[in-house]
Amino acid sequence: MTDTTRTDQTRTTIAASEPGADGSGSLVQPTDAGTTAEKPASLWTDAWYDLRRSPLFWISSVLILVLLVMAVAPGLFTSVDPTYASLAQARQRPSDQHVFGTTALGYDVYSRTIYGARASVLVGLCSSILTAVIGIVVGLISGFTGGWLDAVLSRVGEIFFAIPLLLGGILFLYVFPNGLDTPFWLQVGKVVLVIAIFGWPSVARLMRSSVLQVKPNDYVTAARALGGSPGRLILQHVLPNAIAPVIVVSTINLGVFISVEATLSFLNIGLRPPAVSWGIDISNASSIGLVRAAPNMLLFPSLFLSVTVLAFIMLGDAVRDAIDPKLR
């Protein structure tokens, strides 16, 4: 058998076995002459088909869309300045003038609740993206190379994984605190950084496990036999077929990271005034006297925070149900 024949057979094996960028793993069936072969449905095509039929997906998507609009253009929902305080209007109950009432210092609760979405959603999105990027890179290198590098990266990940996310955030922000004069973007950057530092190991472990499942497949072996470089194998064959679980977990983590930011701000070590955040407002309204005198101060920021976290967790559950072949 000639080398050309072997090469053609190897390429045929890749074409028949590789799920490509979709991960479906469907084999192309031979057809009779004159019959057009139908393109096999991909994993992402099947997932989108299932998502469109899921009420959970549409409910969470609508909630997230509204929250994103609130974060990007809060002026569409209110014209009141969230940093304007009037002691003459302090602790007012909900009324026509102040829909959610006012705080102990006379801030409009509705305005601060709307503007608070910006900081919370921004921290959640940036933290989720940065954590996913670090975890994907480390997991790919660890799972694909193996050997001593895999052992070193795994041990480093275990060191960070042993430190609880919230505890690590408290220690980090006590060492590098946010002051009242710290710019808003720097405050957000510190919170995002600390979440990414202590949040990437779980994503890296998941990515490594997924890579170890994909690496022995026939299409990867055949591509390696054709002389494909490690970078080409990772980018074209391993990564597209191993990233689905990370997308699901990152979507769920987004809601978790929003709650972590709110907790750090509640403890007065996350975002600090004059920044507007749901965690800050919950902290300011958490004393027993204020809860009794003006429960609206605590109710509405807490309600918006809970709905936001729930929406992203619901979206992650819907995506997981659509992507995971075992659940289908």
> What tens digit of pLDDT does each residue of 182-236 get?
888 999 999 999 999 999 999 999 999 999 988 888 878 888 888 778 778 888 8
pLDDT higher than threshold 50 for residue 125 = yes
Least confident of 42-51, 245-254, 308-317: 42-51
Higher pLDDT, 89 or 58: 58
- 274-308 CB burial, b ≥16 within 10 A, e <16: ebbbbbbbbbbbeeeebeeebebbbbbbbebbeeb
- 215-254 CB burial, b ≥16 within 10 A, e <16: bebebbbbbeeeebeeeebbebbbbbbbbbbbebbbbbbb
The residues near 13 (Cβ < 8 Å, ≥ 6 apart) are 218, 219, 222
Q: What is the pLDDT of residue 54?
A: 83
Q: Can you list the domains of the chain with their CATH numbers?
A: 47-87+99-323 (1.10.3720.10)
Least confident of 40-44, 120-124, 216-220, 297-301: 40-44
Q: Is 300 helix (H, G, I), strand (E, B) or coil?
A: helix
- What Cα–Cα distance (Å) separates residue 8 from each residue in 14, 20, 35, 321? 10, 18, 23, 38
pLDDT, mean over the chain: 81
Q: What is the pLDDT of residue 115?
A: 92
Name the band, by pLDDT with cuts 50, 70 and 90, for residue 5.
very low
Least confident of 43-47, 60-64, 139-143, 216-220: 43-47
Q: Is 102 helix (H, G, I), strand (E, B) or coil?
A: strand
Q: Distance between terminal CA atoms of the chain?
A: 43
| pLDDT, average across residues 52-69 | 90
Higher pLDDT, 241 or 201: 201
Task: Please give the angle made by the CA atoms of 304, 305 and 311, to the nearest 5 degrees.
Answer: 85
| pLDDT, average across residues 118-133 | 92
User: Residue 27 and residue 215: Cα distance in Å, rounded?
Assistant: 18
Name the band, by pLDDT with cuts 50, 70 and 90, for residue 43.
low
pLDDT higher than threshold 70 for residue 7 = no
Identify the DSSP state of 98.
Answer: S
| pLDDT, average across residues 135-142 | 92
User: Residue 67 and residue 304: Cα distance in Å, rounded?
Assistant: 9
Task: Please give the angle made by the CA atoms of 131, 135 and 137, to the nearest 5 degrees.
Answer: 120
The number of angstroms, rounded, from the C-alpha of 148 to the middle of its chain's C-alpha atoms is 30
Q: Give the whole-number percent of the chain exceeding pLDDT 90.
A: 26
- Output the pTM of the full model: 0.79
Q: Give the whole-number percent of the chain exceeding pLDDT 70.
A: 83
Q: Which of 87, 114, 108, 69 is nearest to 277 (CA)?
A: 114
pLDDT higher than threshold 50 for residue 300 = yes
Contact 89, 98 (CB under 8 A): yes
Q: What is the pLDDT of residue 44?
A: 67
Q: What is the pLDDT of residue 267?
A: 87
Q: What is the pLDDT of residues 258-296, one digit of tens each?
A: 999 998 988 888 888 888 889 888 888 877 556 677 787
User: Residue 82 and residue 280: Cα distance in Å, rounded?
Assistant: 13
- Angle between helices 184-214 and 244-266 in degrees, nearest 10: 150
- What Cα–Cα distance (Å) separates residue 188 from each residue in 16, 92, 177, 279? 48, 31, 12, 13
pLDDT higher than threshold 60 for residue 35 = no
Residue 102 φ then ψ, to 5°: -130, 165
Contact 323, 43 (CB under 8 A): yes
Q: Is 135 helix (H, G, I), strand (E, B) or coil?
A: helix
- 69-93 CB burial, b ≥16 within 10 A, e <16: ebbeebeebbebebeebeeebebbe
Count of residues making up the chain: 328
Q: Is 191 exposed, middle or buried (0-12, 13-18, 19+ CB in 10 A)?
A: buried
Least confident of 37-46, 78-87, 141-150: 37-46
